Each structure stands twice: as C-alpha cells, then as structure tokens.
Amino acid sequence: MDYKRFVEEQIDEIRRLVGNDLAINALSGGVDSSVVTVLGHRALGEKLKTVFIDNGLMRAGEPERVVTLFERMGIPVRLISAKREFLDALKGLTDPEEKRQAITKTFYSQVFGRLVREWGAKFLLHGTILTDIEETVAGIKRQHNILTQIGIDPEKEFGYLIIEPLKALRKDGVREVAKVLGLPRDITERIPFPGPALATRIVGEVTEERLATVRAATAIVEEELKGTEAFQYMAVLLNDRATGIREGKREFGQIIVVRCIQSEDARTAVPVELPWEKLKRLCERITSLPGVNRCLYDLTPKPPATIEYV
Ligand code: XMP
C-alpha cells in the first residue's frame, strides 16, 4: 500500500465530508487516536476540536505528556478534567464488567456527549481500525456505536456523521501512516495501554487511594522494564491483603502483581522469563511503596488468563 497516497486521500475525504461544519475527536495518546488527530488537524485545522479526557485513571503524568507532545507538533488539545465523574461512577463497584460499563457510559454519555452538544459538533472523527470491526462482527468486542452511546439518535439528528479514516487498516498499517505523518516514536512504538486504563489493573473497587498505589507501582514497572522486548508489562493491585513485618511491626499490607508478557497480536500471550536480578529489584522497589508488603510475578499464559486483570 502507498501510505503517502493514503494520507492525502484521507485528508481530502475528511475535508470534503466536513465542509464548513465542526468536528470533534478524543485523543488518548494511543497510536490510532493520535493518527486520527493529525489527519483531522491537517484536513480541518481549527474546525477540528481535539480533547483529551482525563478520567483520573491514567498513569502518572500521562494527560500532560500527551497534550504537550501534540502542542509541540502545533496541534492544540483541550484537556478536560473529569476525574470526579469517573470516580463517582466507579464508587462501590467490584464486578469487572460493571466497572468497564461504568467507564464507557461516563465517557460517552456524560463527558464526551456533553462536549459534542455544547460545541455543536456535526462530525466525530474516530480511530476505529479494521481489527475492531472484525472483532465486533465476530462477537469478541462490543459494538463501537458511538452515536447510541452518547444518547444521540442519528435519525433525529439528521446530518450527524462519524468519520473513521482508519477503518481499512490494521495496526501495522496505522503505524506506517503514523511514520508518514512524522509522529514521534513515543507514540508509534508505545506499548498497548487499555482505554479503561488503570481500572483494568485494580481488582475490586477503584478508589483514589488504590489508584495512587497501582500508579506508583506502574511507574516502577515501566521504568525497570523499558527497553525489554516484551509486548506489554504492568503492575496490578489485588483485592486481598497479606501479613508482613515492617520496622519490627506487623502489617496487613497490599499485594502487587507484576505481569510481563510476549505476544504477537494480544490474542495469546506467554510470560517473559525475566532475569532473577531484575525480578528481585522490582520486588524491592515495589515493596518499598507505602502499605505494599508483597510483590508477585505472574507466570500465567493467555489462555487461560487474559492479559489484563479486569
Ligand atoms: P486481554 O486482557 O483481553 O487484553 O487479554 C488484550 C489486549 O487488549 C488490551 N485491552 C484493551 N484495550 N480497551 C482497549 O483499548 C479495552 O477495554 C481493553 N481491554 C484490554 C490489553 O491491554 C491487551 O493489550
């Protein structure tokens, strides 16, 4: 495929479809939404409003990092702080499916939906890729029907359209387009990070305090394992506690799991045989976090486990 030509065609097409109206898109910093942001911006300039919705579930410094990175490329991104709305929606929930649904609903119906209406945007630019469509058809993923999710009936709201410039590409194609667009390696080579963010790595209730623990452990894991050839690595906070001793006193502490896997396409995965020294260092650093007194390494392949815990 001629990716340069693909870029030109998509820019023309977005421009033609949007005309003099306004479009909106949500950037997460992942490669798909980043590519859509750059394509959309080149096509529409100020007629595209790009938002980064901070759901409070991100890694340390992530919202600011992504916004700054795009600002350096000359693309303004509005950082929308919605932490309270997401935390309120997650309050008291422990069931994994309920937690995921609460996040999706808060994103589309509450926060993003409100912005679309406030700004009177007529078009949504969305980073759907071919794999998303195939997995939806195969019943692996839930349908990405944004219009319904934000409570807009496309029949009533005549003229409202979703534009999906990447729907003919798979991940490798999107990475090629990202290179043509000159996106930095930070984005093109970023390890996968799920939409529901750190909530997929907290077993049990998501609270501010528990988020702080998993966020700190995540920073350690990412720092220590950066540069390994792994497909993905993460820290997970379990919902149980274990007895330990700190400064001569008994402590009933938190348990963090480190997971580091190799995979081709995330459909199957095997644990990476990390050097013992690396594991010991991870354990030392993680158990020095306040209240954490156990660190475990997950040896389970996918299947039977999934990659994330929630
Ligand atoms: P699982 O846990 O299903 O994950 O083995 C497979 C891959 O998908 C990522 N993942 C997600 N990505 N939204 C995303 O954008 C999600 O809800 C989601 N859940 C899992 C996961 O990180 C892994 O790479």
What are phi and psi for residue 292, nearest 5 degrees?
-100, 120
Euclidean distance between CA atoms 283 and 286, whole angstroms: 5
Closest Cα to atom 10, ligand 1: which residue?
Answer: 194
Interatomic CA distance for residues 253 and 261, integer angstroms: 26
Which residue among 97, 108, 200 has the greatest number of ligand 1 atoms within 8 angstroms of its CB, and so is best to mutate?
A: 200
Using N-to-C axis directions, what is the helix angle for 3-18 and 31-44, rounded to 10°? 60
Per-residue pLDDT of the chain (310 residues; tens, 9 = 90+): 999 999 999 999 999 999 999 999 999 999 999 999 999 999 999 999 999 999 999 999 999 999 999 999 999 999 999 999 999 999 999 999 999 999 999 998 889 888 988 898 999 999 989 888 887 777 766 655 666 666 777 556 545 688 999 999 998 899 999 999 999 998 988 899 999 999 999 999 999 999 999 999 999 999 999 999 999 999 999 999 999 999 999 999 999 999 999 999 888 999 999 999 999 999 999 999 999 999 999 999 999 999 999 9
How does DSSP assign 135-161, residue by residue? HHHTTSS----HHHHTT--TTTSTT-E
Is 302 in a helix, a strand, or coil? strand
Burial 46-76 (b: 16+ CB within 10 A, else e): ebbbbbbbbbbbbbeebbeebbebbeebebe
Distance from the alpha carbon of residue 100 to the mean position of ligand 1, in angstroms: 11
Backbone torsion region of residue 169, taken as left when φ is above 0, otherwise alpha when ψ lies between -120 and 50, otherwise beta: beta
Q: Which residues pair with 234 in a beta bridge?
A: 259
CA distance 255 to 237: 6
Write the DSSP symbol of residue 108.
I
In the 8-state DSSP scheme, what is residue 60?
Answer: T
State which amino acid sits at residue 74: G
In this structure, the residue with its CA closest to atom 22 of ligand 1 is 194
Q: Which three-class secondary structure state does DSSP give residue 23?
A: strand
The tokens describing 130, both together, are 């071919």
Residue nearest to atom 3 of ligand 1 (CA): 306
Which domains are delineated in the chain? Answer: 3-188 (3.40.50.620), 202-297 (3.30.300.10)
- Ligand 1, residues at Cβ distance < 6 Å: 192, 194-196, 200, 232, 266, 302, 306-308
User: Atom 14 of ligand 1 has which residue's CA nearest to it?
Assistant: 194
